[in-house]
């Protein structure tokens, strides 16, 4: 499997989505979600020109983090258990799944201990599916106010997961909803620069709606 070709094809599709909406392709970071593959494949993806890697399980990610010494920016994209914060904190540059105050407090505590800062996106449940994690949109502003009191946490934007859909147009309202929520809050919360949204099946729609980070697993790295 040729990672360079796959990456080029994805970038090309992102460029076209940007052209359609007057955006610049440099605004969109491709995060290769390597949860489906092991150390060797992850190395090959880095060698093919990817810099940003996403993992959603701490246990699966740790051996890779240990083995891979190439420069890479790691993103934690899955549900983060409070007792796993210790393991995640030193390795991951971004946490996309900050979704509750108890997690924020643990991140603050562990970051303080290690004299670190932690860069986070707040996960929002736009679709309202009960099985999805993320804050209800109406609670976001109050949550951001609480987080401001935690000086080790740097919020840089919002993340959402769209429902599985056969037709990506069905989930456009979810991506649009996240962007509109961000746009409404931006005057008071200028730190909300990033929107992490879009996966293999729907990333072009997400880019059209303003994604700055797309999390691509199967389309790039499925064996
Ligand atoms: C697995 C995963 C992805 C990537 O999904 P694909 O459909 O394989 O691209 C993106 N985001 C999260 C949170 C994931 O767990």
Please tell me if the CB atom of residue 215 comes closer than 6 angstroms to any atom of ligand 1.
yes
Task: Provide mean pLDDT across the span 38-43.
Answer: 94
- Return the SS3 of 67: helix
- Return the SS3 of 163: coil
**Taking 80 as the threshold, does the pLDDT of residue 1 lie above it?**
no
Percentage of the residues of the chain whose pLDDT score is greater than 70:
99
Mean pLDDT of the chain, nearest integer: 96
pTM: 0.97
The number of the ligand 1 atom at minimal distance from the alpha carbon of 56 is 15
| pLDDT tens-digit readout, 124-179 | 999 999 888 999 999 999 999 999 999 999 999 999 999 999 999 999 999 999 99
What pLDDT does residue 136 have?
A: 97
Q: How far is CA 55 from CA 209, 211, 222, in A?
A: 24, 19, 14
Name which of 91, 143, 95, 146 is nearest 120 in CA terms: 95
Number of other residues whose CB lies within 10 A of the CB of residue 3: 18
| pLDDT tens-digit readout, 12-30 | 999 999 999 999 999 999 9
* Measured distance between the N- and C-terminal CA atoms of the chain, rounded to whole angstroms: 8
Percentage of the residues of the chain whose pLDDT score is greater than 90:
93
For ligand 1, atom 7, which residue shows the shortest CA distance? 200
Q: Probe ligand 1: pick from 175, 199, 200, 219, max atoms within 8 Å of CB?
A: 199
Task: Give the confidence band of 56 by pLDDT, cuts at 50, 70, 90.
Answer: very high
Name which of 86, 92, 75 is nearest 30 in CA terms: 75
Longest dimension (CA), the chain: 47
From the number of C-beta atoms within 10 Å of its C-beta (0-12, 13-18, 19+), residue 35 rates as middle
**Taking 70 as the threshold, does the pLDDT of residue 223 lie above it?**
no
Please tell me if the CB atom of residue 56 comes closer than 6 angstroms to any atom of ligand 1.
yes
Distance, in Å, from the CA atom of 142 to the CA atom of 165, rounded to the nearest integer, reads: 31
**Taking 90 as the threshold, does the pLDDT of residue 70 lie above it?**
no
């Amino acid at each position: 499997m040729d990672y360079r070709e796959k990456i080029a094809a994805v970038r090309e599709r992102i460029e076209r989505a940007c052209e359609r909406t007057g955006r610049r392709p440099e605004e969109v970071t491709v995060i290769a979600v390597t949860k489906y593959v092991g150390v060797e494949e992850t190395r090959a993806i880095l060698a093919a020109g990817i810099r940003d890697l996403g993992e959603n399980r701490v246990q699966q990610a740790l051996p890779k983090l240990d083995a891979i010494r190439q420069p890479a920016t790691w993103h934690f994209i899955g549900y983060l258990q409070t007792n796993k914060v210790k393991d995640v904190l030193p390795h991951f540059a971004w946490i996309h799944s900050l979704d509750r105050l108890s997690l924020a407090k643990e991140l603050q505590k562990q970051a303080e201990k290690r004299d670190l800062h932690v860069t986070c996106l707040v996960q929002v449940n736009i679709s309202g599916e009960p099985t999805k994690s993320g804050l209800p949109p109406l609670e976001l502003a109050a949550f951001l106010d609480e987080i401001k009191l935690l000086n080790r946490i740097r919020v840089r934007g919002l993340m959402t997961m769209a429902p599985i859909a056969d037709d990506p147009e069905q989930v456009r309202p979810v991506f649009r909803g996240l962007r509109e929520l961000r746009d409404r809050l931006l005057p008071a919360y200028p730190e909300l620069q990033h929107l992490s949204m879009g996966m293999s099946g729907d990333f072009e729609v997400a880019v059209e709606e303003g994604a700055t980070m797309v999390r691509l697993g199967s389309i790039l790295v499925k064996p």
